[in-house]
Amino acid sequence: MLDWPQQRDKPTVCARDLYRYRPNIVPDRESALKLAEILVKRGWLIPLKAHRYDRKRWQVTIGPA
């Protein structure tokens, strides 16, 4: 899961991207969000404010902060 956001050519990733383009090892949406939260805790993703209350968005970092 860590390689996937870094291989994309976009500096941000949203929950919809995780749902649609998640790696095959991630079975469902809930698991994808849980893994994203782990990456946030480890410093690989930085939460961003989204324009909607029900949207999640993160900035992809090069390494843990």
Q: Does residue 32 lie in a domain region?
A: yes
| pLDDT score at 35 | 86
Say if residues 26 and 35 touch (Cβ distance below 8 Å).
Answer: yes
How much is the pLDDT for 5? 66
39: left (phi over 0), alpha (psi -120 to 50) or beta: alpha
Res 6: pLDDT: 66
Query: What is the tens place of the pLDDT at every residue in 5-64?
Result: 667 778 888 888 887 777 677 788 888 889 889 989 998 889 999 888 888 999 988 766
Task: Name the β-bridge partners of 48.
Answer: 57
Confidence at residue 10, expressed as pLDDT on a 0 to 100 scale: 80
Range of the domain at 21: 3-60
Question: Is position 65 within any domain?
Answer: no
> How many separate domains does the chain show?
1
23 part of a folded domain: yes
